[in-house]
Amino acid sequence: MKINIYKGSDLEGVRVAAQASAYVLQRLCDAVTPGMSTLDLDRLAAEFIKETGGKSAFLNYHGYPAQICCSVNDVVVHGIGRADKVINPGDIVSLDVGVSVGGFTGDNARSVVAGGVSTPLKDKLLEATRRSLEAGIAAAVPGNRVCDIGAAVEKVVKEAGFSVVRDMVGHGCGRKMHEDPQVPNYRLPGFSPELKPGMILAIEPMVNVGTWRITIDKEDGWTVRTADGSLSAHFEHQVLITQKEPEVLTCPNHQIA
Ligand code: CO
């Protein structure tokens, strides 16, 4: 395992890519409207990514065929935009955006409810997932280990009565989208690396209302669904470990346009 430590111009490069991905994610979340298809969102993403001067980090990654991931309701992650997948009022839309600029990559994700017609359960799911990410970020400090991040995420999710997806993890993210270490969203026993200033981690809880188990679509080989058809949410930030508080590189600062 080789964990990169970022500083100087490399760190500045990751900051730029992270801000680009945050900008695109914010624009997309604002654009989600019932009646649009998930392919419409993917096309919009292409425009917003172009504005940043970067490229989609996902397109062609291991053959992934779209600009972003757009995952609706029981789709956990890796939903591919489709013309025949129309967004309905009250749908949970999970958008995951990775942008590469100047040799560095930003990665972030957020779930929103379309059309402002949520339910108490959906509000609770999104809130718990967001708070679990915040708890994971708060645990991302020197002196802790990577496994402490997952433990913090899992605690919030369990207390809310939901379950954390176990088969998919967060990751180091900087020069490449997926770098060491893996960042599980639950307490994994065994060796876990110490957190050090300069590490950059994408922390990304995927939270299901029902079982943590998932299935992968046999036709497209990508779409990840909850095994029981229950709703799922996904929030992701890319964070820099510092001497003190972690710095959220994908906070929307609107510095791009
Ligand atoms: Co990620």
133: in domain = yes
For helices 146-159 and 120-138, angle between their N-to-C axes, nearest 10 degrees: 160
Domain containing 158 equals 8-254
Alpha helices in 171-256 (DSSP H): none
CA of 238 to the centre of ligand 1 (A): 8
In angstroms, the CA 257 to CA 235 distance is: 23
137: in domain = yes
CA of 205 to the centre of ligand 1 (A): 10
pLDDT in tens, 65-124: 999 999 999 999 999 999 999 999 999 999 999 999 999 999 999 999 999 899 999 999
CA of 213 to the centre of ligand 1 (A): 19
CA of 53 to the centre of ligand 1 (A): 20
CA of 204 to the centre of ligand 1 (A): 6
CATH number at residue 85: 3.90.230.10
Q: How many CB atoms lie within 10 A of CB 189?
A: 6
CA of 180 to the centre of ligand 1 (A): 12
In angstroms, the CA 30 to CA 233 distance is: 17
Confidence band (pLDDT; 50, 70, 90) for 257?
A: very low
Confidence band (pLDDT; 50, 70, 90) for 159?
A: very high
Q: Measured over all CA atoms, what is the biggest interatomic distance in the chain, rounded to whole angstroms? A: 49
CA of 198 to the centre of ligand 1 (A): 18
What is the domain count for the chain?
A: 1
Better-predicted residue by pLDDT, 255 or 135: 135
3: in domain = no
pLDDT surpassing 80 at residue 146: yes
CA of 168 to the centre of ligand 1 (A): 10
CA of 203 to the centre of ligand 1 (A): 7
CA of 119 to the centre of ligand 1 (A): 27
Position 254 scores a pLDDT of 55
pLDDT > 90: percent of the chain: 96
CA of 176 to the centre of ligand 1 (A): 11
Of 149, 252, 133, residue with least CA distance to 199: 149
pLDDT in tens, 38-70: 999 999 999 999 999 999 999 999 999 999 999
36: in domain = yes
Supply φ then ψ for residue 187, to 5 degrees: -75, 110
37: in domain = yes
DSSP 8-state class, residue 194: B
Give ∠ CA 216-212-235 in degrees, rounded to 5. 85
Answer positive or negative: Cα dihedral of 119, 124, 127, 130.
negative
Dihedral angle computed from the Cα positions of residues 180, 144, 22 and 32, in that order, rounded to the nearest 10 degrees: 100
Position 99 scores a pLDDT of 98
CA of 107 to the centre of ligand 1 (A): 6
158: in domain = yes
Position 252 scores a pLDDT of 84
2: in domain = no
CA of 109 to the centre of ligand 1 (A): 8
Two tokens, residue 190: 């065994």
pLDDT in tens, 173-226: 999 999 999 999 999 899 999 999 999 999 999 999 999 999 999 999 999 999
Two tokens, residue 192: 């876990």
Confidence band (pLDDT; 50, 70, 90) for 253?
A: confident
The residue-averaged pLDDT of 3-22 equals 98
CA of 114 to the centre of ligand 1 (A): 23
Of 255, 237, 254, residue with least CA distance to 246: 237
In angstroms, the CA 204 to CA 78 distance is: 13
Position 103 scores a pLDDT of 98
The pTM of this model reads: 0.97
CA of 181 to the centre of ligand 1 (A): 12
CA of 172 to the centre of ligand 1 (A): 9
1: in domain = no
